[in-house]
Every structure is written in C-alpha cells, then in structure tokens.
Amino acid sequence: MPDPGGEPALAERRAIVRDGIGVGIATGVYGVSFGAVSVAAGLSIVQTCVLSLAMFTGASQFAFVGVAAAGGAPLSGAVTALMLGTRNTLYGLKLAPLLGFRGWRRPVLAQVVIDESTAMSVTRDSRTAARIGFVTTGVAVFVLWNLFTFVGAVAGNLIGDPRQYGLDAAVGAAFLALLWPRLSDPRNRIIALCAAAVALGVVPVTAAGVPVLVAGGVALLAGILTRSADDPTEIPR
C-alpha cells in the first residue's frame, strides 16, 4: 500500500491529472457507440442516458442492451449485467483501505469505481497521489461517457430504422470489441470458448437472452474455481 504520509510534488500532481483526463477522453468518447447501439436495441434516448448514469460500467451496459436486442426479458439482462459488474466489488475491496475516503465521499465516489480509475490509483506511491488519480480519472470518464452516450443516442435516433444501416448487429460487435483485449490471456480464451459453446448449446431450448446469462454463469464459475490461483483484485488487461 502506498505511504499515506507521502505527498506528491506539484509536477507529479499535474502529470496525474493530465493522464487521468487523457484516459477520460479516450474512454468517454466510446460512449458514442453505446448510445447508438442502445437505441438500435430498442431503448429510448432517456432510457439510454439513465442506464449510463445509474449503471456506469461499459461491459455491463453492452450486455444489458445485447439481451434487449435479442428480445430477452429485462430481468435476464439485469442479471447478466450484474454478474459482469461483480469485478467492481473486488476493486472496491482493494481501493477502500488504499484511498481512505470517509463520510459522504465514500458512497458518492463508489459510483466511479471502474477499471480505469482503479488502474490509475493502485500504482501510486502515496495516498494523495492515489486519490488524485482515482478522482480525476473516475470523474473524467463519468462526465464524458454520459455526454457521448447522449450524443450517440441522439445520432442513432435521428437516422431512423437502425436495421437499414446494419446497426442491429452493432450491439454484438461493440460488446466483442470491448472484450477482445481481455482475450490476450490464454486462460481467458479457453473460458470464452467454453462459455460460447454452452450458450450455443442452450439456444434451441431457452428464451432469448437466457444464453447470454448462461454464458455469464460459466465465466463466473470459472472465476470462482481459479480465484485461489490469482490475486482477486488484479486489474484485467
């Protein structure tokens, strides 16, 4: 754990803020794609924006609209999104003692516990630097992700029937693009193949949306079985 008494120099503080904003821009702009695929899946602009504000975790959001696009029940989409979002709980277990926030700030800042804000804080040499990295990155991503979600939702709504442009297939494509970097780990590739095989196997006998939920269950089970071999707070690649 970083030394809580160490204080970063002004130049270091500025560098952390600059890097955090850079990550926020790079991640937030991708919200355009979520906004577009969400309205393509049948959600309204308001529903899309509320989903980004309340859920605020990219993989879970794409999973939810993916189930919706397939005609699945909202409960199936919510459970799938919840399973994908469990990693943020593990991040919280690591960040709580590291950042040391107390009072009202703790529940408020819990909303921005995501991959990027965690990665920008756990490598710092002091508590102050870790807090700067976490808050700057988390707030930047939150603001820009929601802004560009709205932009993408409006743009997707204005072009009319999304099937005329192939946007009905964009949900799956965007979700695959989001997950692709994580498949660099051979073990993740094996888990993904097993989950896909099980999902394809249950397609003929289950309702729309359920195969996605089943695939998420396979991944969750694999994570539980392999947890003892890894640090559960490791940041995904």
Asked whether residue 95 is domain-assigned, the answer is yes
Asked whether residue 5 is domain-assigned, the answer is no
- Can you give the pLDDT at residue 18? 92
Q: Are residues 44 and 108 in the same domain?
A: yes
Q: Mind giving me the DSSP string for 6-38? A: ----HHHHHHHHHHHHHHHHHHHTTHHHHHHHH
Residue 219 sits in which domain range?
185-231
Q: Are residues 20 and 107 in the same domain?
A: yes
- Can you give the pLDDT at residue 62? 84
- Distances in whole angstroms, Cα of residue 5 to Cα of each of 1, 24, 128: 11, 28, 8
- Can you give the pLDDT at residue 2? 57
Report the candidate in 169, 160, 163, 220 with the shortest Cα–Cα distance to residue 195. 220
Q: Are residues 174 and 82 in the same domain?
A: yes
Asked whether residue 4 is domain-assigned, the answer is no
- Can you give the pLDDT at residue 135? 94
Q: Are residues 173 and 201 in the same domain?
A: no
Which regions in the chain score pLDDT beneath 70?
Answer: 1-7, 159-182, 207-210, 212-213, 216, 220, 223-224, 226-237
Q: Are residues 47 and 156 in the same domain?
A: yes
Asked whether residue 63 is domain-assigned, the answer is yes
Q: Structurally, how many domains does the chain consist of?
A: 2
CB atoms within 10 A of CB 2: 18
- Can you give the pLDDT at residue 110? 92
- 30: which DSSP letter? T
- Can you give the pLDDT at residue 189? 82
CA distance 229 to 64: 30
pTM above 0.85, yes or no: no
Q: Are residues 203 and 102 in the same domain?
A: no
Q: Are residues 59 and 101 in the same domain?
A: yes
Q: Are residues 177 and 209 in the same domain?
A: no
